[in-house]
Structure 1
Amino acid sequence: MVALEIHQQRRLSGSWLSKLKGATGPLVGLLALCIFLSFSTEAFLSVRNGLNILDQITVLGIMAVGMTFVILIGGIDLSVGSVLALAMMVMGWTANVAGLPLPLGIALGLLASAVSGLIVGLLVTAFRVPAFIATLAMMSAARGVANMITDGQQIVGFPDWFMMLAIDRHFGVLTATVFLMLAVVLIAWLFLHFRSEGRMIYAVGGNPEVARLAGINVQLVTVAVYVASAILAGLAGIVLAARLDSVQPSSGFGYELDTIAAVVIGGTSLSGGAGGIGGTLIGVLIIGVLRNGLNLLNVSPFLQQVIIGIVIVLAVGAETIRRRRA
């Protein structure tokens, strides 16, 4: 048993180069996309446009970190968009209707999202419900609760300091929300690479039975991952509320697709056990740069969805080919 665990740890430590190699393709794609757009439109290479791209990817970037954890264990989470809306509405109602301090409302919103993730994790582990079905059910339930809180009405108006988190550029460059996203990405990267719990996530995704024999509590890891994904979705909802200075139950509709797309484009395998935060960040940037560039080129929003769909298919196809060759 001990020898098996040591072998597993060595295998995971030795896979660092393969994880880095897996992000090379998306990085080349991002650079090629930037070069193409720099020649296609003069506004793309401006500092202002670069800062706008960073502002626009904050919500997606935070959510994608949580989705990376889920996909690394071989799971899927379709509920993140609805959990985002639930956290927003709980925060908005407690702060603007119940009259509680906004920091307490933020904490309660994150607590609501954590409970959602805990329910999903227990459905998947204790009741053996497939992750697709469990998160699909939570997607509907969380959206319904979000609408029930205010009978489908939006809540507008928060303290000025909250809105300034997404407006005021510290050092004249980055907003507090961008700093928050970068902090989440950095902490997640350090966690996966330097903590034994992070290596456990890779082990569970690579082979749950081998991980169990190595002494890893697979069920606990799975529950923790879904809770983390939900909390980060809730945190992304708080960031979105700061950007919009309002909350509404329809927020986050379709975000789960963009989040999964960013993770997959970044090279994380849908079968689990391979990928990482670095690739996910590149995937988020690809989607952000692509949307920004298509807007600068005045491409129809409907055609943008088609183009992003094609990019997802190409990314998954490239990952499949790479795995077969490996």
Structure 2
Amino acid sequence: MTKVGLILLRSNSRYGLWTVPLLVAMTCCAGLAVSTADFASWQNILNLVAQAVPLILVSIGQMIVILVKGLDLSVGSVVSLTTGILSLNAPVYLTVPAAMLAAVMVGLANGIAVTRFRVHPIIATLSIMGITQGVTMFVRPSAGGTIAPEIVSLVSGQLLGIYMPVIWTIVGCALAWKIVHGSRFGLHLFAIGGGETAGTFGISEQRNLLAAYVLSACFAAAAGIFLAGRIASGDPNIGTQYAVDSITAVALGGTQLAGGIGSLHGTVIGCALLALIANGMNLLNVSAFIQTVVKGLILLVVISLQPRKNIGL
């Protein structure tokens, strides 16, 4: 076997096996380019990128929480709440800070429930998800409202010849790379997820867990801002699918749900693969109900392939 082949098949002990989904994504691209006439069109590619941006942002936050053996089911509600707040008839300099503050409050609630009250992450974030969704329905009972032109312009159009969804992706990934792979906080995430106790390395486990959940909510709010600008309205149900989709994308990218193993590039590849599958099924006119079944099966298969004794969920 060639040296390149060995690299592609090797599972990095820290980053996980991200090369396999990369190969699958490349295969999907080739297959869709041959089987559908519209896949390789410039318009479809731009649409694919725009569809992937919110999932990438939400999945980045989800990955940060999963690295510390957590799980955040409230991300979808944060996305919906953000679009609801932004659709209120108020200046953008009030709605955007309000949306981010709401996200921080959700993240703190999740973190406190998990660290201080020792509630299992699934139960804690599921409860906060319900509360957040209730607040969302109060703020925006049904789809509608108006999004400030400043936010719409941040999502559509170009900047220096670069399409805005691409800029969102670059900025989001650069910030996440600094947090996860280029800071002491990132090292602490891997240490905590790997079972290395605070007493051993002087790491404040509770403080880092709290920060992880706050970051997850903030990235979900960023996704909500992008979605609000894209649809130019608020929607209390727009974030429904992002909890499961983000977990699926993170797992597809090689991140272990047991914590301690994962990478940003793996997560982005997982998001790209999931977006490719959804885009391909749309181009092939696959029923939306079947698409939901396929996503569920993908998550089930990916989790079942992870070492069962290491999964703490």
TM-score with structure 2 length normalisation? 0.90
Q: Structure 2 vs 1, CA of residues 242 and 174 (structure 1 numbering), >3 Å: closer, same or farther?
A: same
Residue in 2 that maps onto 1:6: none
Cα distance, 1:212–1:182 mapped onto 2, change above 3 Å? farther
Deviation for aligned residue 1:240 = 0.7
1:17, distance to aligned residue in structure 2 (A): 4.5
Counterpart residue number, 2:175? 187
Code of the residue aligned with 1:201 in structure 2: it is: L
- Give, in whole Å, the separation in 2 of the partners of 1:17 and 1:134: 31
**Which residue number corresponds to residue 204 of structure 1?**
192
Q: 1:58-98 CA distances to partner (integer Å, 9 max, x unpaired)?
A: 111110100000000010000000111122222333xx0xx
Q: Is the 8 A contact 1:80 1:229 kept in 2?
A: yes
SS at match of 1:237: helix
2:38 is the alignment partner of 1:54: no
For 2:13 and 2:174, locate their aligned partners in 1 and report how far apart those are by CA, in whole Å: 20
Alignment counterpart, residue 283 of structure 1, candidates 260, 270, 277? 270
Shift of 1:36: 1.5
User: Which structure 2 residues correspond to residues 1-326 of structure 1 after superposition, within 5 A?
Assistant: 17-20=12-15, 22-93=17-88, 96=89, 99=90, 101-150=91-140, 152-175=141-164, 177-209=165-197, 211-320=198-307
Q: Secondary structure at the match of 2:255?
A: coil
Distance 1:124 1:315 in 2: 26
CA shift at 1:302, angstroms?
Answer: 1.1
Does the Cα contact within 8 Å between 2:59 and 2:247 map onto a contact in 1?
yes
Residue 277 of structure 1, CA deviation: 0.7
Task: Give 1:19 deviation, angstroms.
Answer: 4.0
Deviation at residue 297 of structure 1 after TM alignment: 0.9
Give the conservation status (yes or no) of the 8 Å contact 2:25–2:272. Answer: yes
Contact 1:26 1:266 in 2 (8 A): yes
Whichever residue aligns with residue 218 of structure 2, its letter is I
- Tell me how many residue pairs correspond in the alignment: 301
Deviations 1:158-214 (CA, angstroms, capped at 9, x unpaired): 333322322213355412x431232111221232222111000000100053x4321
Tell me how far apart the structure 1 counterparts of residues 293 and 171 of structure 2 sit (CA, whole Å).
32
Alignment deviations for residues 108-139 of structure 1 (CA, whole Å, 9 cap, x no partner): 11100101100110111111111111100011
Q: Distance in 2 between matches of 1:293 and 1:171?
A: 30
- Report which stretch shifted further, 134-143 or 193-202: 193-202
SS in 2 for 1:156: coil
Q: Is the 8 Å Cα contact of residues 73 and 204 (structure 1) preserved in structure 2? A: yes
CA contact (8 A) 2:14 2:260 kept: no
Which residue in 2 is equivalent to 1:9?
A: none
**SS of the residue 2:307 aligns to:** helix
User: How far 1:21 sits from its partner (Å)?
Assistant: 5.8
For 1:11, the equivalent position in structure 2 comes to none
Q: Is the 8 A contact 1:267 1:319 kept in 2?
A: no
- Conserved? CA contact 1:264–1:283, under 8 Å: yes
| Alpha-carbon distance, 1:238 to partner | 1.0
- In structure 2, do the counterparts of structure 1 residues 280 and 31 end up closer, same or farther at CA, with 3 Å as the change threshold? same
Q: Which runs of 5+ in 1 are unaligned?
A: 1-15
1:144 is displaced (CA, Å) by 0.2
Which residue identity is paired with 2:182?
Answer: F
**Equivalent pairs: percent with the same residue?**
35
Q: 2:187 is matched by which residue type in structure 1? A: R
Q: Give the CA RMSD over aligned residues.
A: 2.1
Once residues 256 and 76 of structure 1 are traced to their aligned partners in structure 2, the CA distance between those partners, rounded to angstroms, is 9
Q: Equivalent residue of 1:18, what SS?
A: coil
Q: Displacement, 1:310?
A: 2.5
CA distance in 2, matches of 1:81, 1:225: 16
